[in-house]
Amino acid sequence: MRGLDDPVLEAAPLPKEWGAGIGVDWSAELAKPGPDAQGGVELTDEEFADFLATLKS
């Protein structure tokens, strides 16, 4: 990666062993439903604070 102020980033090639023997059916993967557009579970402020505390611990 070049400097952060450079507008161009170049991807490094992935190691061959990362994809060895793994076939991906992209049409099936792209047909899967995505995340709910309306969002996830609604949390109260207290529940959200507890959630963040759990992540930090």
Q: What is the pLDDT of residues 2-56, one digit of tens each?
A: 556 667 777 788 777 776 666 778 788 888 877 676 777 778 899 989 989 999 8
Output the pLDDT for position 2.
52
Output the pLDDT for position 49.
92
Look at residue 43 and tell me if it is in a domain: yes
Look at residue 51 and tell me if it is in a domain: yes
Output the pLDDT for position 21.
66
Output the pLDDT for position 3.
57
Residue range of the domain that includes 33: 16-56
Total domains present in the chain = 1
Look at residue 39 and tell me if it is in a domain: yes
> CA dist 47 to 11, 27, 30, 39, 53, Å?
40, 39, 34, 16, 10
Output the pLDDT for position 30.
83
